[in-house]
Amino acid sequence: MADALAACLAALGVAADMIPASPAVRANRLRTLTAHKSVLIVLENVTDAAQVSPFIPISSASAVLVTSNSQLSDLVTSGAEARRLEPLDGAAGVHMVTELVGARARQEPEAVAELVRRCAGLPVALQVAVSGLVGRPSRSIESVVAAIDADETGSAPFTRAGWEALAAVFSHAYAALDEETARLYRLLGLYPGGDLAADTAAALVARSPATTDAAIGALIEAGLLEEDSAQRLSLHTIVRRHAAQLTEQLDAEQVHQAVLRGVVEHLTVTAAFADLAILGTERYRCTPASVVDGHRSPFVGADARSRALDWLDRERTNLLAVQRSAAEQGWHEWAWQLAEALTAVYVTRRYYVDWTVSSQLGADSARAVGNPRAEARLRSFVSRAWIELEQPERAREELIIRALPLAEAAGDGRLLASVWEFIGRYRDATDPQSAATAYARSLSLFADENDSRGIAFVTYFLAQAQCRGGDLEQAEHTMGTALTLIRALAEPDARMTGRCLTELGRVLDARGDHRRAREMFTEAIEVLAGSGDAFYEAAAHEQLVRLAEQDRDAETMRVSLRRMVRIHRELGGDRVGELTERLGRLTDPE
C-alpha cells in the first residue's frame, strides 16, 4: 500500500524527494493533491477492503475503480457500488465483432453468433479469433468458426469451468504462426513478470534482436500480444495461460530452465549496470564486478544516471518477481545480487515496502549460499527502510542483532564500517546522543580500508550529529572537513557537495557568522542548480531567504522565493501556496 501511494504521488507529479516517508502522510498528501481535481484512481487485484481507503479522494468529482476476484463486501457496505463483470452477452459480442471486421459481420449473423459462443464472450478471445480476417477481406467468418472446430493443436483444456473451448480459439491462431513466432509465444508463458521490453523478450528466447522483433510483430498482428504506447509488451491473462500450457506440453524441462536462466541473467546484469550508473563505481558492493564482464552497459552518456533510474523504476515490479523466481529455482547468487542492485531505486525513489521484501529474499538467498557478507549488507542497508516505515524495532533486529555479528565475523573492513554507519543513522532516529560514537567507529574502519568515499560521507553524517548535539564549534570543523573530502573524491558528487555546503552554512549561521553562512548557501545553490538536484537547491534557497530577511535584503528574497516556487511546483511540493503568498508580500518594483 505504501509503495502504491508513492506511485500515485509520482504519477501526480510529486518528485521522489517530496514524497513523505510515512504511509499515513502519503495518504493525506494524495487527498490534498486531488481535493480540487477530477481524477480516476484504478486499483487492480485488490484482496482486502482495507487496502482501498487510503486512496479515496475527498473530491466528489473523483472516483476510485477497484478490480478484484474477491467480493470485498466491506466496501459495498461502506457505500461502494459493486459491478460484477460477466463475459459479453450475445448482442455485445456481435457488436464487438462488427466493430472489428465491419460489413462481413452483418452478412453472416449466424456465424458471428456462433463465434461469440465459441469465445465464451471474452473480448480477448474474440479479438484473437477475428485478427486473421482484418487483412483478408475475402475470408468468411464461417470459415474461422470451422477452422476453430477442426483445430486440435494444443488441446489441453483450461481448468476454469465453462471456458474449455477457448483453447481451440487460441490454438487456431497459434497454428498459423511460423516456428520462431510460435516459440516466442510459448515461452512468454514462462515469464515471471508482467510486461516486458523487447530486449527482455530476446533474452527469453535467446535470439537476436532482429529475429525477436519480427516474432513480436507477428504476435501483435495475430492479436496474441499487446503493445502499449511505451512499447511495453504483455499477454492477456487468459492468453498467458494458454501459452504456458503449450510450453508445458511442447518444450522440455531443460528448455524451461534455460529460458528462466536467460531472463534472470539478463535482468540481473542490466540491473547491476543501472546500479553502477546511479550510485557510481566507488559504492561499497558485495556483488562481484565480474557480473557484468562480457556485457555492454545500456546506460552511457550524459543522461546515463537518469535513464538507469527510470529503467529500474519502470521494471521494479518485474525485477522483484524475477528475483522471487530465481530464489524459488535455487539460483541464489542471482537472487541476492538482484536484491543489492534494486536498492539503487529503492533508496532513491522510496519504495520502502518493496525494499523490505526484496532484501529479505536476498538475505535469505545469501545465507543459502553461505555468503555472510551479502547477507549482512542487505540486512544492514534495509534498516533505513524499516526506520522510514516507523518500525525501529525491526530496524534494530536486522541491523544490530543480525547484520552486525555477521559483519564482525566476515573479516571485511569496509562492510563492517558500512554497518556501523547504518548503526549511526539508526541511532540518529532513536538515540541521537549515541550516534556520534557509532559514526566515529565507522570512520576508523573506513580509514583502515582507505575508503575515501566512506570517510567523506560518514564525516558529513557525524557533523550533522554534532550539530544536533549542540557542539557547534566541533560541527563546523567536521563539516568543513567533510566538504573538503567530498570535493576530493575521484567520482564527483555534486548532490553531496551541495548538501554539505548547505549544512555548513547552517552551522556557521548558528555560530553567528552570517556573512560566511550566506556565502555557503549561495555556493550550494550554484552547485545544486548545475547538477539538477532541485530539492536540495530549494533547501539552500530557504536558508538564504532566512538570512536575507534578517539583512532586509528584499531583492535576494524575491529571487530565491521565485526559484523555490518554481521548484516546488515542478516537483509537486505542497508549499507552493505558502511560498507564493510570501513572495506576494514583498514589494516588487517590476
Q: pLDDT of 378-431, one tens digit each?
A: 999 999 999 999 999 999 999 999 999 999 999 999 999 999 999 999 999 998
* Residue 531 resides in a domain: yes
Out of 456, 489, 522, pick the residue that ends a domain: 489
Q: What's 236's domain CATH number?
A: 1.10.10.10
Question: Which residue, chain included where needed, has cell 560518514?
Answer: 458
* Residue 460 resides in a domain: yes
Same domain, 474 and 525: no
* Nearest-angstrom CA–CA distance, 374 and 370: 9
Same domain, 438 and 467: yes
Out of 489, 504, 530, pick the residue that ends a domain: 489
Same domain, 587 and 511: yes
Q: What's 546's domain CATH number?
A: 1.25.40.10
pLDDT of residue 537: 94
* Residue 14 resides in a domain: yes
411 phi and psi, to 5 degrees?
A: 75, 25
66: region left, alpha or beta (phi > 0 left; psi from -120 to 50 alpha): beta
Spans of the chain, pLDDT less than 50: 152-163, 589
* Residue 269 resides in a domain: no
Same domain, 40 and 52: yes
Same domain, 541 and 565: yes
* Residue 304 resides in a domain: no
pLDDT of residue 357: 96
Question: Which residue, chain included where needed, has cell 518493496?
Answer: 354
Question: Which residue, chain included where needed, has cell 549488507?
Answer: 377
DSSP sequence for 221-285? HTTSSEE-TT--EE--HHHHHHHHHHHHHHS-HHHHHHHHHHHHHHHHHHHHHHHHHHH-TTS--
Same domain, 468 and 497: no
pLDDT of residue 187: 96
Out of 147, 175, 203, pick the residue that ends a domain: 175
Same domain, 96 and 162: yes
Task: Provide the domain count of the chain.
Answer: 5
Same domain, 39 and 115: no
pLDDT of residue 435: 94
Same domain, 145 and 215: no
DSSP 422: H
DSSP sequence for 12-28? TT--GGGS-SSHHHHHH
Same domain, 512 and 481: no
* Residue 318 resides in a domain: no
Question: Which residue, chain included where needed, has cell 547538477?
Answer: 531
Same domain, 94 and 166: yes
Cβ-based neighbours of 431, under 8 Å, separated by 6 or more: none
* Residue 583 resides in a domain: yes
The tens digit of pLDDT for each residue in 142-162 reads 887 777 666 544 333 333 433
In 176-252, where does DSSP find H-type helix? Answer: 179-188, 198-205, 209-221, 237-250
Task: Please tell me whether residue 234 adopts helix, strand or coil conformation.
Answer: strand
* Residue 61 resides in a domain: yes
Same domain, 500 and 575: yes
Domain ranges, residue 19: 2-77
pLDDT of residue 98: 80
Grid coordinates given for 273:
549496470
Contact 112, 141 (CB under 8 A): yes
